[in-house]
Structure 1
Amino acid sequence: MELLDGSDPGAIGGYPLLARLGEGGMGRVYLSRTVSGRPLALKTVRAEFGREPGFEDRFAREIRNSDRVRSPWTTAVVDCSPAGQRPQWLATEYVAAPSLGEWVQRRGRLPERTVMALAAELCGALGAVHAAGLAHRDVKPSNVLLGRRAPLLIDFGIARAAEDSRHTRTGGVIGSPGYLAPEQAGAGGSGAPGDVFSLAAVLVYAATGLGPFSHPDEEVSAAVLLYRIVHEEPNLDGVPGALVPVLRSCLAKDPRQRPTAAALGALLERLGGRTGAWPRLLPEALEGDLSAREAEAHALVSAPAPVPPAFTGPPALPGAGPAVPATAGPGAGPVAPGTAGPAGGSARSRLSRRTGPALAGSAAAALIAVAGTLLVRHLSGGEGTGGTSPSPSAAALPASWAGTWVGTGPGTPDADGVTRPRTGQFAVTLTLHPALRGELVGKQVSKVTETGTGRELGCTEALQLREVRGTSMVFEAVTSHPTDRTAAVSCPEGNIYVVTMTDPDTLGLGEEGAQSAGAPSVLTRR
């Protein structure tokens, strides 16, 4: 990871750039964050790809495809560039973790029990991909992140769109030599069976430190590796004995002879490889590495950053649905308490010494899967480039915001009444007065009644002005207590509110943060 230099912009798409995480064939990868403090990995696309005929459509299609895969092991896109914008970019959630390729290169092969857990988890990842009617087509060690909660299968969209472009232009193969299926090596099509072949090759690498078609202490060309994949049998020396017949079946030359991801998962389970065991089987060294990376990422994202330009409009994702709001528990205001903790991920590279000892160590870029993908919308005053760009000194709530704002949402009348309370109308009153960033700016009072019991579940919060972004303000609840002080309701502090003035008498509650179920989406001036 390196500090930004003169060749790096201060922000892209309205997201502030905090550090450079790496650079590759696709473009540069930056550490960024959302307005509520969620870490992001922001990948830029090299101009040459953007100029390729049809690339923009492929880029958007692959991002839509990745959004169809919802699992604990696969990647989630947070935001992307609008159609026609250059440079093109893709923002993903950030987690601090090494790739399998990096870990094995630095620390050597994984212990047998960890390999077995890795096999089960990655089989689950492929199962989720294939169940969505998709194929990854580039499963390799550098695309597997050794996350704390689960391994993550990354680079679902941006790399595939680029590889398609290269394939169309040069007639070359799509994927990484050494981990390709024979049908890919022949420049033919590849689907789910090809992913199973590549997964097996990755597991051989995890267990032995070498791919199944590589030999110790050799440097061979891609052409030699492709020849071996098509014509030679895999080398499984050093693979745990129980896994040898399973991986051999996955590495069959004929894709029809390979098991499906579901069948492979069943085989692994009979051998003791079960999903969910991964966190308990991490090597001690990996635990320490993850902790160091997490601390470093927190320090970078928490450090004050310059106020970037306003966002330039909502991303153009043909067919993409709206953001998925988080559901709220009792006592939630428009932002559900306790649901907006930072999650994270991004691509790993060595930290520059220029960042100083406080940030010594390293960080990794990854795309972390979430239960429901949150597509963060730009918070601007209009579509395209029509938003207002604040100056760095614009760090005060404008006088036009002062006053009382009210709104009513539907509540949650259809909730199950067990995991989430069944409530009637959800009323919010927001009172604001002029303030500088960091000062108290007003308070919010929410009132929502539980159906049947009549219990008041709302909270009253004192708000601090946290950020100013053109027509959008970010508030943080620095104190919170039940609106009905006699009610036994939990009202945690720290809720984040992102509010946008859509016209002089209307405020919209943004989707960034964790919008409560049933809360109003619009407040009007009273």
Structure 2
Amino acid sequence: MELLDGSDPGAIGGYPLLALLGEGGMGRVYLSRTVSGRPLALKTVRAEFGREPGFEERFAREIRNSDRVRSPWTTAVVDYSPAGQRPQWLATEYVAAPSLGEWVQRHGPLAEPSVLALAAELCGALRAVHEAGLAHRDVKPSNVLLGRRSPLLIDFGIARATEDSRHTRTGGVIGSPGYLAPEQASAGGSGAPGDVFSLAAVLVYAATGQGPFSHPDEEFSAAVLLYRIVHEEPNLDGVPAALVSVLRSCLAKNPQRRPSTGAVGALLERLGGRTGIWPQMLPEALERDLAVREDEAHALVSAAVRPLPVAAVSGESEDDPASGGAGTAAAPAAGSPRRRLAGRTAWTAAGGIAAVLIAAAGTLVVQHFSGKDASGATPSPSPTVAALPASWAGTWVGAGPGTPTVDGLTQARTDRFAVTLTLHPARRGELAGKQVSKVSEVGTGRELGCTEALQLREVRRTSMVFEAVTSHPTDQSTVLTCPKGNIYVVTMTGRDTLGLEAEGAQSAGAPSTLTRNRP
């Protein structure tokens, strides 16, 4: 992570830039934040790509595809540039974690138990991608973040619907040499079986420190790697014996002979690789590294967060660099040399996890993003005359489909997600109403919803930010934990409609629109 210098803008798309996280072929990645203090990774697109015919359409399509995947191992899109804006950008929730590639380069291969846990988690990640009708198409060590709760599969920049083969540059090879499948190397096209091949190649790297088509201490070109992928057998020397058979089947040249992610997951489970055990398998050095990264990011975000000024209530952006706002707070004087934080190399940033209903030890917890300060406490709202307009007052209702098709383990299987939001006029810092969710579990009919008292936190032109200051189960006879402190963003989308969001991480299966309930 590097502090900004005079060549970096103060803000993009209304989001203040706080530090440079890294730079790649597509553009730069910055640390940013939402108005409520939620860390973001903001990725910019180089101008030359934006000028290509059809790029803007592909960019928007790929963002929509990425947002179709909601799982504990993949990331949600928070915001992105509107059509015609330059530079083009994409904001996702930020995760302070090293990539697998960075970690192995610095510390060497992972131990066998950690590799098995990583394999199981990445199978879950890819299964979620494939069940959404997508193929990732660029699974590689730099696109795997070693997060604290679970590994994350990031960068859906080239992901697309598996049945759609039209949106690729003519003659272009999509993927990263050394980890892409033979059909990608020879024909440029790939689907779910190609992701399975790439997954196996990444796990070989995690276990040995090199890909299955690389040789130790050699200098090689991309062309050599592509030739080996298509024509030579993988080198599995150093791979734990228990994994050799599984990975060899995944690295089959013929995509039809590779197992599905579900089959791979079943094989790994028999070997001891299960989802949910990753936190217990973290190396001590990784635990320390994560703590340092989290502290660095939190310090920058906390320093930049400040009360929303009265000007912002009337529509002026708090992040306008011309106003001397938060967008310039982290930038040193123009022309000063770029300074690296804590002597660290630039590290990969990615989005966050969509809120889900997670079953653990018999207790279901509704997880949402919670705005906390450095001490873990919820910041107190600053005094202001900003108030909830009278047009918002009333009862608003909506229903979502729930999550009837999930596995029932990492997410509760539900068949209805109803929300009733009741609001009344209130000033910022005052109670403004309550939200009641009713969520029915498939099979048992148990009620898994929560009832929350909402405090008005922020007032914007067309949206409001609420915090749940109290929360309890809607059905108080059920065994359910409902944490307080959840942050909700609600947008007025029409005279009688509200859009229900949580800074891009709404609970799976929840309604996206609420309608005014007229007596």
TM-score (norm 2): 0.70
Question: How far apart, in 2, do the equivalents of 1:447 and 1:523 lie?
Answer: 14
Structure 1: how far apart are the matches of 2:511 and 2:25?
Answer: 45
Q: How does 1:407-426 map to 2 (within 5 A)?
A: 407-410=394-397
Residues 132-191 of structure 1, C-alpha deviations (whole Å, 9 max, x = no match)? 222111111001111111111111136779xx999625x231111111111111133211
Residue 104 of structure 2 aligns with which residue?
104
Query: Residue 410 of structure 2 aligns with which residue?
Result: none
SS at structure 1 position matched to 2:187: coil
Q: Which whole-Å deviations, capped at 9, do the CAs of 1:328-359 have from their partners, x for residues lacking one?
A: xxxxxxxxxxxxxxxxxxxxxxxx984777x9
Q: Secondary structure at the match of 1:61?
A: helix
Pairwise CA distance, 1:522: 8.6
Q: 1:510 to 1:75 in 2, by over 3 A?
A: closer
Q: CA deviation at 1:459?
A: 7.3
8 Å contact kept, 1:178–1:226:
yes
Is residue 32–residue 39 contact of structure 1 (8 Å, CA) maintained in 2? Answer: yes
Check conservation: 1:467, 1:474, Cα contact below 8 A: yes
For the pair 1:278 / 2:278, whether they are aligned, the reply is: yes
The alpha carbon displacement at 1:240 in A equals 0.2
Preserved contact between residue 444 and residue 462 of structure 1 (Cα < 8 Å): yes
User: Which residue pairs with 1:63 in the alignment?
Assistant: 63
**Is residue 17 of structure 1 aligned with residue 17 of structure 2?**
yes
Residue in structure 2 matched with residue 230 of structure 1 by the alignment: 230
Counterpart AA for 1:179: Y
Alignment of 1:434-513 (within 5 A): 442-444=430-432, 446=434, 469=460, 496=487, 511-512=501-502
CA contact (8 A) 1:497 1:509 kept: no
Question: d(CA) in 1 for partners of 2:497 and 2:90?
Answer: 28
Partners of 1:428 and 1:520 within 8 A in 2? no
Is the 8 Å Cα contact of residues 75 and 351 (structure 2) preserved in structure 1?
yes
Instruction: Decide whether the 8 Å contact of 1:166 with 1:172 is kept in 2.
Output: no
Measure, in 1, the Cα distance between the counterparts of 2:169 and 2:455.
57
Counterpart residue type for residue 367 of structure 1? G
SS in 1 for 2:196: helix
Deviations 1:393-412 (Å, cap 9, x if unpaired)? Answer: xx985678788973223499
**Contact kept? 2:212, 2:236, Cα under 8 Å:** yes
Aligned equivalents of 1:23 and 1:167: distance in 2? 23
List gaps (5 residues or longer) in structure 2.
Answer: 318-336, 358-381, 403-413, 439-449, 473-480
- Looking at structure 2, the residues matched to 121 and 159 of structure 1 have their Cα atoms a distance apart, in angstroms, of 19
Cα distance, 1:497 vs. partner? 6.3
* 8 Å CA contact retained: 2:70, 2:128: yes
One-letter identity of the residue aligned with 2:16: P
Q: Which residue in 1 is equivalent to 2:31?
A: 31
1:219–1:14 CA distance, 2 compared to 1 (3 A)? same
Find 1:428's aligned residue among 412, 423, 432. Answer: 423
> SS in structure 2 opposite 1:95?
coil
Deviations 1:234-279 (Å, cap 9, x if unpaired)? Answer: 1111000111111111111122221121111111112121111111
- For 1:193, the equivalent position in structure 2 comes to 193
Write the letter of the residue equivalent to 2:185: A
Please report how far the alpha carbon of residue 474 of structure 1 lies from its aligned counterpart in structure 2 after TM superposition.
5.0
Task: Give the length in aligned residue pairs.
Answer: 434
Contact 2:466 2:488 in 1 (8 A): yes
Q: Aligned-pair distance for 1:6?
A: 2.9
- Classify 1:172/1:121 alpha carbon distance in 2 versus 1 (closer, same or farther; 3 Å): same
Shift of 1:425: 7.0
What is the aligned-residue identity percentage?
71
Match among 342, 349, 356 for residue 365 of structure 1: 349
SS in 2 for 1:78: strand
- Displacement after TM superposition at 1:4 (Å): 2.4
Spell out, residue by residue over 1:109-148, the C-alpha distance to the aligned partner (whole angstroms, 9 max, x if none).
0001100111111112122222222211111100111111
The structural deviation recorded for 1:96 is 0.9
Structure 1: which 5+ runs fail to align?
313-351, 374-394, 433-439, 451-456, 483-489
Partners of 2:124 and 2:275 within 8 A in 1: yes
**Structure 1 residues 187 and 515: alpha-carbon distance in aligned structure 2, compared to 1, 3 A threshold:** closer
How far is the alpha carbon of 1:469 from its aligned partner?
A: 4.9
Q: 1:144 to 1:311 in 2, by over 3 A?
A: farther
CA distance in 1, matches of 2:141, 2:14: 32
Contact 1:55–1:165 under 8 Å retained in 2: no
Q: Which residue in 1 is equivalent to 2:216?
A: 216
Write out aligned runs for 1:370-389 (5 A): 370-371=354-355
Q: Which moved more, 1:32-41 or 1:403-412?
A: 403-412
Instruction: Give the 3 Å change call, closer, same or farther, for CA 501–448 of structure 1 in structure 2.
Output: closer
Code of the residue aligned with 2:23 in structure 1: it is E
Q: Aligned Cα RMSD in Å?
A: 4.4
Q: 1:137 to 1:222 in 2, by over 3 A?
A: same
Deviation by residue 1:486-506 (Cα, 9 ceiling, x = unmatched): xxxx99875656577899x99
Partner of 2:169: 168
What SS does the corresponding residue of 1:90 show, helix, strand or coil? strand
Is structure 2 residue 393 aligned with structure 1 residue 406? yes
Letter in 2 for 1:270: R
Matched-pair contact (CA < 8 Å) for 2:488–2:501: no
Matched-pair contact (CA < 8 Å) for 2:458–2:464: yes
Q: Is the Cα contact below 8 Å between 2:182 and 2:230 reproduced in 1?
A: yes
Match of 1:276, SS state, is coil
CA change 1:71–1:402 in 2 (3 A) is closer
CA distance in 2, matches of 1:409, 1:42: 33
Change (3 A) 1:397 1:471: farther
Measure the CA separation in 2 of the matches of 1:45 and 1:424: 38
Asked whether the 8 Å contact 1:18–1:301 carries over to 2, the reply is yes
SS at match of 2:91: strand
SS at match of 1:256: helix
Q: For 2:18, what is the secondary structure of its paired residue?
A: strand
Equivalent position of 2:89 in the other structure: 89
1:218 to 1:136, Cα distance in 2 relative to 1, 3 A? same
Match of 1:321 in 2: none
Match of 1:53, SS?
Answer: coil
1:51 maps to 51
Residues 72-112 of structure 1: CA deviation (Å, up to 9, x unaligned): 11222122222222221111111111100000000100001
Letter in 1 for 2:501: E
Mark the CA change 1:353 to 1:408 in structure 2 (over 3 Å): closer, same or farther: same
For residue 282 of structure 1, what is the amino acid of its counterpart? L
Match of 1:333 in 2: none
Q: Normalised by the size of structure 1, how large is the TM-score?
A: 0.69
Structure label with greater radius of gyration: 1
The residue aligned with 1:267 is 267
Q: Which amino acid aligns with 2:423?
A: V
Change (3 A) 1:238 1:14: same
